[in-house]
Amino acid sequence: MSELRVLHHDDDIIVLNKEPNLLSVPGRYEPDCAQARLAQVFDTVLVIHRLDQDTSGIIVFARHKAALTHIQQQFEKQTTRKTYEAIVYGRPPTRNGCINMPIIVDWPNRPLQKISHSEGRYALTRWHIKEELEGRTRVALFPKTGRSHQLRLHMQQLGCAIVGDPLYAADRAANEPRMLLHARHLEFNHPATNKRLVFQCPPDF
């Protein structure tokens, strides 16, 4: 259990602190993932949401279909609360801010995403500077939406790509051991009791 970094489990849900460089779900050529590892311990592990392979932090899985539906609806209605922490190259233009740029998959260059004001889906991210470092900045990121690569692409658009990002900072990421993006806070209502659950897990960077 400790090897999997399970933060909480009961008859309805499993909350995991996913390590970096681990898929959330099986890939096309890579079966090893958080879901598969949990399935070795728990009978049923259903995917509610995902974290990018390079992103670490809090992710919740369901143990049956009713829990899956209940929590997925919370994500869709944006009643969950998520906070990420990252270290970015440079410094955002203001201490607090918001970036609202629609995102669409960059089909010729998948899995890359791109900004498209004509065809992209609404995507909004708020940021707050936590600490200024030498040539870098530690930021808290608050995504209102959950588009693929949203935080990574939005920070790149600000001129402050996430340190170690192999897709959106490839020219600078080669010598970094990992991408410095971590899902550190997640709130949602328990699918059985409706009690508000709050999970916090600081990054190790």
Active-site residue numbers?
52
Residue 159: which region, alpha, beta or left (left: phi > 0; alpha: psi -120 to 50)? left
The CA–CA distances, whole Å, from 160 to 89, 140, 151, 191 equal: 5, 13, 11, 37
Helices (H), the chain: 34-39, 65-76, 150-157, 170-173
**Cα gap 92→132, rounded to integer Å:** 10
CA angle 19, 204, 145 (to 5 degrees): 65
DSSP state of 75: H
Residue 4: which region, alpha, beta or left (left: phi > 0; alpha: psi -120 to 50)? alpha
Total Cβ atoms within 10 A of residue 39: 13
**Cα gap 163→158, rounded to integer Å:** 14
**Cα gap 182→160, rounded to integer Å:** 16
